[in-house]
């Protein structure tokens, strides 16, 4: 940006009929080539030659009332407000807003996606948790057997921000430095298992694409599990806990459980949308997947099964025990949240 006096001198030279190439040596040390051409373009267009205006708006000093409004907009308002939007609204810089937030110990967090629970499901969840609280006590925790199944997929993460290749020309960079190879179809498996406060059942590993129905669920999961209950648990005293998956709700499965696990929780007594109430969902499966991801890409299903069985046995029993001990507390938490999420 140049001064008004210098701009008038440049315009005077243009009015005298001189070209930019002739004026450039005269103002070589004071004005850049790009600025001279811009002034000449404005002069030829016949428009007013005005200096560029600085963008932005006059900033104000943050007052206590402005700070209170800032906190209210960012932390309590129902509608979303960003830091920059609040700064524009208060006519202060976004750096000022950040500094005041930091002084008050307010951090910025990314929002987390979670599944919507309709109001009808919230009421059912609250009622089921009330029944659990009235039915089960701390002394019943050793008899609880949580069972579930889930898909495990071998993934290789790719971070576009950190994965970089450096060189003068992309075509000259070696292939091993500029490419990351991924399989077309990631390797996956379905696993089924059960955990108690004092032990766990053998893990059942089924190939990818295997579909569980009432027959396969009985033959591949429940019956083998009953033959290998941890710590020689008595099925007549065991409280089997499972969710509302279609194969779990089947009449043949419910009849089998009624005959072999008479203290099991029927599907109509289990709350809907309940990953926060099954020990395997809120603890064990995440530990298993985290341990599996450390192995990177796995070449075959046989190797995947071997690693799954190994990592299943390596899960610390103390972690499972702590998760089972927290079950009643989580039940009370869902009830207190009126059937909503507790995580």
Contact assessment for residue 39 and residue 10, using Cβ atoms and an 8 Å cutoff: yes
Dist CA 309 CA 159 (whole Å): 29
Contacts of 330 by beta carbon, 8 Å cutoff, 6+ apart: 276, 277, 282, 342
Contact assessment for residue 105 and residue 288, using Cβ atoms and an 8 Å cutoff: no
Among 309, 319, 288, 316, smallest CA distance to 153 is for: 288
Look at residue 49 in the predicted model and tell me its pLDDT: 47
For 7, other C-beta atoms within 10 Å of its C-beta total: 17
Look at residue 318 in the predicted model and tell me its pLDDT: 95
pTM above 0.85, yes or no: no
> What residues in the chain have per-residue pLDDT under 70?
1, 46-59, 156-162, 183
Question: Rg (Cα) of the chain, in Å, rounded?
Answer: 34
**Adjacent-strand bridge partners of 204:** 192
> In angstroms, how far apart are the furthest CA atoms of the chain?
108
Dist CA 164 CA 161 (whole Å): 8
Name residue, tokens 């569980």: 212
Buried b / exposed e along 85-109 (16+ C-beta atoms within 10 A): ebbeebebbeebbeebbeeeeeeee
């Amino acid at each position: 940006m140049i001064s008004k006096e210098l701009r008038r001198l440049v315009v005077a030279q243009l009015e005298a009929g001189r070209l930019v190439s002739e004026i450039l040596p005269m103002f070589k040390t004071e004005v850049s080539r790009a600025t001279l051409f811009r002034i000449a373009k404005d002069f030829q267009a016949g428009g007013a030659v005005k200096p560029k205006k600085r963008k932005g708006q006059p900033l104000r000093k943050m007052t206590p009332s402005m700070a209170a409004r800032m906190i209210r907009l960012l932390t309590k308002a129902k509608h979303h407000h960003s830091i920059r939007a609040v700064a524009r609204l208060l006519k202060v810089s976004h750096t000022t807003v950040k500094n005041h937030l930091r002084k008050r110990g307010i951090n910025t967090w990314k929002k987390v996606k979670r599944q919507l629970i309709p109001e009808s499901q919230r009421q059912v969840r609250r009622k089921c948790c009330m029944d659990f609280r009235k039915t089960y006590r701390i002394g019943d925790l050793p008899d609880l057997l949580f069972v579930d199944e889930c898909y495990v997929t071998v993934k290789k993460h790719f971070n576009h921000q950190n994965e970089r290749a450096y060189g003068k020309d992309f075509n000259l960079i070696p292939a091993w430095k500029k490419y990351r190879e991924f399989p077309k179809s990631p390797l996956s498996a379905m696993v089924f298992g059960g955990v108690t406060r004092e032990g766990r059942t053998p893990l059942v590993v089924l190939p990818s694409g295997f579909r569980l129905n009432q027959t396969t669920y009985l033959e591949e999961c429940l019956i083998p599990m009953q033959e290998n209950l941890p710590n020689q648990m008595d099925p007549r005293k065991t409280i089997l806990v499972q969710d509302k998956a279609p194969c779990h709700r089947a009449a043949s499965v419910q009849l089998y459980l009624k005959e072999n696990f008479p203290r099991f929780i029927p599907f109509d007594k289990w709350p809907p949308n309940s990953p926060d109430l099954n020990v395997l969902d809120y603890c064990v499966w995440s530990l298993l997947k985290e341990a599996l991801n450390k192995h990177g890409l796995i070449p075959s299903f046989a190797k995947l099964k071997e690693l799954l069985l190994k990592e299943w046995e390596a899960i610390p029993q103390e972690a499972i025990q702590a998760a089972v001990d927290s079950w009643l507390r989580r039940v009370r938490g869902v009830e207190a949240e009126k059937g909503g999420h507790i995580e």
